[in-house]
Chains A and B, each alone.
Chain A
Amino acid sequence: MRWPLRIVPRHALGRWPRAGIALAAIALALLLGALFLWAAGIDPVAAYAAIGRAAFWGGAYALSDTAVKATPLILCGLGCALAFRMRLWNVGAEGQLLLGAWAASGVASFWLPAATPRPLMLAAMALAALLAGGSYAALAGWLKARLNVSEILSTLMLVYVATHFNNFWIFGPWSQSGFPLTPQFPPAAQLWRLSDAAAQVPALGGIGLHAGFALALLTAAICWWSLRQTRLGLAIDAVGDNAATARSVGIDVGRTTVLVLALSGACAGLAGMVEVSGVVLRLQERFSPGYGFTAIIVAWLARLHPALVVVVALLFGGLLVGCREVQPAGIAMLLQGTLLFVVVGSEFFVRYRLRWCGWRAHE
């Protein structure tokens, strides 16, 4: 007897069949998740309903919360996607996010007077975050281009450096009477929120959606457009596909490496600024639940496509929000992991199909 299924390579698959495979994979992931929940003694249907209600169809609050959680994921996910397209494995978006948050906080609380006009203050914070995150990642890029240091290691290690760097400032010079956090930002350093308009439109009261979400969408649009329309976008895809060819047509791969990692880090740094200025309103320890790491999954599930990054980030934001409603708390991670595993695994079916050839004796 022999195994009746054969693996047969498939010819190029169209867009819709691919989307079908992805959707089937998501359905399968949810099914597997349900199995885990059931095994843990939780009613999966009720759990999914609670998650869905809390994250998506529970009204404006739910959607606002989901979008708020998705915002740093979108920005970090874009950063990862940019680098990944060039096969630069920037796995340190978390560190770049932390440094971005640090720089933005410095501008907000210490380096610019609290009376600075709001647009100017916010612009300065964003710029500082972009520069901090960007130059931090560019450091890894420079090491890679100059000394061929693996960016996987350097970006990951720099996360720990960034964590302790931030802690130094939070516990030390910026500590507020001994507590490990900075003072709350002045109003000029807080991003506009929908709830700000509650005085005029009472319905908006308590809705925490902030301008950072719009900024994230704008960044996604810019990334999408740039990848298609600019020379840099072509260089990224060329290096990602075949670095040897890129070199032989005159692309400076080293310089592009530094530049792309800088842009990647800048996106993550901006995520840090948006998070402290739109949600936390100060710099404190552990304000990010690992957005920079989750973003790796987001970018990968989105197949490194900026528009899909937004979609996947919203889905993951929803999971983060919804799983607050479900005990135990690890369920969000469990579902994320299952999703990644199944969806990335489903790529197999994009390239191969199984053929049933019946049970037959071998010869």
Chain B
Amino acid sequence: MIVTSPAHASPVPGAVAPAVELCGISKRFGETLALDGASFAVQRGQIAALLGENGAGKTTLMQILAGVQAADSGELRLAGQRVELASPRQAIARGVGMVHQHFQLVPTLTVAENILLGAPRPRFLLGRQPLHVEIAALGQRLQLPVDPAARVAELSVGERQRVELLKALWRGARVLILDEPTAVLGPLELGPFFRALRALAASGTAVVLITHKLTEVLAAADVVTVLRRGRTVARDLPIASVDGDRLGRLILGSEETAAATGEAAAAPMTPPAPALAASAPLLRLRRVSAIGQRGERALDDVDLEVWAGEIVGVAGVSGNGQRELAQVIVGLRPALAGRIALAGQEITRLPVRERLARGLGYVPEDRLGDGIAPALSVQHNLALGLFRQPRAPWLLPWRALAQRSAELVAEHDVRLQSLAQAAGQLSGGNVQKLILAREIDARPRLLIAAQPTRGLDLGATAAVRERLCRLAAGGCGVLLISEDLDEILALAQRVVVLFRGRVAGTIDRAAASAEAIGKLMLGRTADLAAAEPV
């Protein structure tokens, strides 16, 4: 059954043909039917949310709209006109722009050069200076500030997202598809971001928002379409007519599962208070500083402690030193000054392998970039956990590894076709579970989890969070670096807020509130303001 209702929420009144209409779209990838007659529509001036679990077909449907994939069957209409979009270029020419979840940026080029790539009227002479001014102005106007001269490789994930948005808008997108746009934005960036979207919509742009986060949908969208297993189960529901519970039920398709995710999102899963009998913290950073990619002081005099059995949250607006913090602890980035100790032993100068061997686990922020080898099999990726063992065998015990891998995959509920499957073929949630399986199997004493649930669906998010809590309950220390403030508030006992590479404040869970943390994230504390005027 398809729940339908006319889209009254559109600010542009009714009789006009929708900016985009997709009807009966089907798409098959090998054995799996990704889309099974799905439909979707969005009006000019409207923000339409597309909801569904990982693998429901949201991204595929929008890739068809953006000309990235070709539909096997079905109809695509733009402003009432039937069209076929054979390539992203054709889609762009017709004003359809997509911001992909996995960024499509050339890391070695600057922000301005990336924005210029694939522009509708390529310029022969780049005219750097006026271009930079134009882009900076556009960013200012849309409240998406960027440095046009910066190289993309040096930007944080949140900053890259802004570049992606600007790129699509620069090309004159009248239909803007955003795949999980808020996943990489910090909580304080959300408000301005949604205001920017609203302003875009008001100027006549049709905005499609693909997301997992119901609260954001309810706050920002005009209408909602829900996909489940490649089918449209609800179309153009005005936002006023739905609530979170109903959407949850539509997404998951059954009452019980909806209850389960509701619990995952809301229920306090706090592990017991840490046993303070231990004499030293598991992880101690003393006045640690580090240089970032651009030569700036990305970390500045950071003090941090994580005790056994404790989850410490690191909050901050993206690009305030979170990435460098994780890298410095793991040993991927040298510490300029200061000391890092793991379980009382200094590890400041040790190579990565030694640190991992001493009980560090690492779930990196950029899953595909630093977490897995995408072309290698799932089995090989799990075997990568072997390199940290102090006496790793030079001959790989494949039989034992295969058995252990099968157990791990089952235990962590990684959904795959076979262990021989390339890890890069797994969905985002399953890649994350795979990395967690590998890191947890090494029995870490301290786990660094950077943005562990970014872009995951409700089910996978709940599974990952539960896993982190269980680790802490088992005596492991967890350093949770997250831009999702709700996540930090739900899991962490203490919250450390980073601002411009400095610890802006540390708040106990009891005293923690979104507002207090939010202020710290913007650097608005009395003492800090005195020391360094913002």
Binding site for B on A (CB under 8 A): 6, 8, 11-12, 229-235, 237-238, 241-242, 244-252
Contact = CB atoms under 8 A, between A and B. Distances in A.
Given A233-B396, A250-B352, 17 more contacts: A11-B30, A229-B395, A231-B386, A231-B396, A234-B384, A235-B387, A238-B384, A242-B369, A242-B375, A244-B366, A245-B369, A246-B373, A247-B352, A248-B362, A248-B364, A248-B371, A251-B384
Q: B353, B384, B394 — which one has the most chain A CB atoms within 10 A of its CB?
A: B384
B392 interface: yes
B64 to A, nearest CB: 13
Q: A8, A233, A234, A248 — which one has the most chain B CB atoms within 10 A of its CB?
A: A248
A250 B356 contact: yes
B372 A242 contact: yes
Interface residues of B, number: 38
A238 B364 CA distance: 16
Contact of A230 (B30, B86, B332, B395): B395
21 contacts: A6-B86, A229-B396, A230-B396, A231-B386, A231-B392, A231-B393, A231-B394, A231-B396, A237-B376, A238-B376, A242-B370, A242-B372, A247-B332, A248-B352, A248-B364, A248-B370, A249-B387, A250-B356, A251-B353, A251-B387, A252-B353
Nearest to B421: A12
Nearest to A250: B353
Contacts of B372: 242, 245
Contact of A12 (B30, B362, B380, B394): B30
SS of A interface (majority) = helix
B385 interface: yes
Contacts of B374: 241-242
Kindly list the 5 A-B residue pairs having the minimum CB-CB distance in the complex, ordered from nearest: A250-B353, A241-B373, A250-B388, A249-B384, A250-B387
Given A234-B384, A245-B370, A248-B352, A8 B332 contact: no
A147 B374 CA distance: 28
A252 B354 CA distance: 10
Contacts of A233: 396
A16 B64 CA distance: 30
Interface string B385-403: 1111000111110100000
B351 A248 contact: no
Contacts of A241: 373-376
B330 interface: yes
Contacts of B380: 234, 237-238
Contacts of A237: 373, 376, 380
B239 interface: no
B373 A250 contact: no
B265 interface: no
Contacts of A8: 70
Contacts of A238: 373, 376, 380, 384
B124 interface: no
Contacts of B386: 231, 234
A157 to B, nearest CB: 25
A237 B394 CA distance: 15
Given A11-B29, A237-B373, A245-B370, A231 B387 contact: yes
A250 B332 CA distance: 10
B336 interface: no
A245 B372 CA distance: 6
B357 interface: yes
Contacts of A247: 332, 352, 370
Contacts of B393: 231
A8 B330 CA distance: 42
Contacts of B352: 247-248, 250, 252
B512 interface: no
B383 interface: yes
Given A8-B70, A11-B29, A12-B30, A245 B371 contact: yes
Nearest to A233: B396
Nearest to A254: B351
Contacts of B373: 237-238, 241-242, 245-246
A87 B135 CA distance: 36
B392 A249 contact: no
Contacts of B375: 241-242
Nearest to B384: A249
Contacts of A252: 351-353
B359 to A, nearest CB: 12
Contacts of A231: 386-387, 392-396
A223 to B, nearest CB: 15
